[in-house]
Structure 1
């Protein structure tokens, strides 16, 4: 018999997702939103989840199996042929969460191309997410929070 799904078991499962650079941010933010819903329900640590939240969690858990196919490149494509290197940052917010991401854009002079076309490589460096606070904030205010998160990330 399976153990019941509780706030404690969900927090334990989410804590196992180790993601220091934020590659799994879109996945983890969904879990964070669900955890916030658990706090709003005022459940005890070992109380079973309501049916709707339990189904949402089970659907989420079922999708986690796809993470095993995720491959993260470690090389940022830097070479001696770099013509231009730029850092690009983006931030966005919704009523539930806000996020920031930083990319490295490298323009490399092609040595193989007879026409002299440059090759552009774009690689994600890092990202972060945060859940919107329970105190209702406007979307423009959350956009500012996302911009601050981006500034901290850079």
Structure 2
């Protein structure tokens, strides 16, 4: 999509993209709610349900994925609930800033999932491979640039510092 946008093609113009064959693939779209409801049926209300949310970014895009983890009769079960991907903005951003934006997307995804379901969540764990994000979340974010400060502020509004790994 970014390549099409960069070439400046209009909506009604024919494009020579994709060059060298199709880069797209068929996507299976499943409802986030259906996946979570399947997990809800398996988990008893007394079980400790945890959400583990992962994020990552590169110069091309960012992604977040959320899993539920619970124990039943001494057996640990995990299930993917949903995911969210975004292409990187056309405007250049450094990898640490992209990682921070991916963390914001991760927190938004978790918030959306939690608000749309009745299951009681015992614990949330947010995972990132960026030391910069962890450092920003654990420090005084107001001393950073406006870009970083606004995003860290949003993270701290929706998550707790001790939830980040």
Match of 2:12 in 1: 46
Structure 2: 5+ residue runs without aligned partners?
111-165
Say which of 72, 75, 83 aligns to 2:38: 75
1:55 Cα deviation after fit: 4.9
Indicate how the Cα distance of structure 1 residues 107 and 92 shifts in structure 2: closer, same or farther if over 3 A, else same. Answer: same
Please give the alpha-carbon distance, in whole angstroms, between the structure 2 residues aligned to 1:92 and 1:122: 20
Q: How many residue pairs align between the two structures? A: 103
- The residue number in structure 2 matching 1:114 is none
Asked if the contact 1:81–1:108 (Cα under 8 Å) also holds between the matched residues in 2, the reply is: no
| Higher-Rg member (1/2) | 1
Name the counterpart of 2:52.
88
Coordinate RMSD, CA, aligned: 2.3
Structure 1, unpaired ranges of 5+? 1-34, 110-117
SS of 1:53's equivalent in the other structure is coil
TM superposition shift of 1:80: 5.8
- 2-side partners of 1:143 and 1:59: how far apart? 25
TM-score, length basis structure 2: 0.54
CA distance in 2, matches of 1:128, 1:104: 16
Q: 1:80 to 1:130 in 2, by over 3 A?
A: closer
Report the TM-score, using the length of structure 1 for normalisation.
Answer: 0.58
1:146 to 96, 99, 102: 102
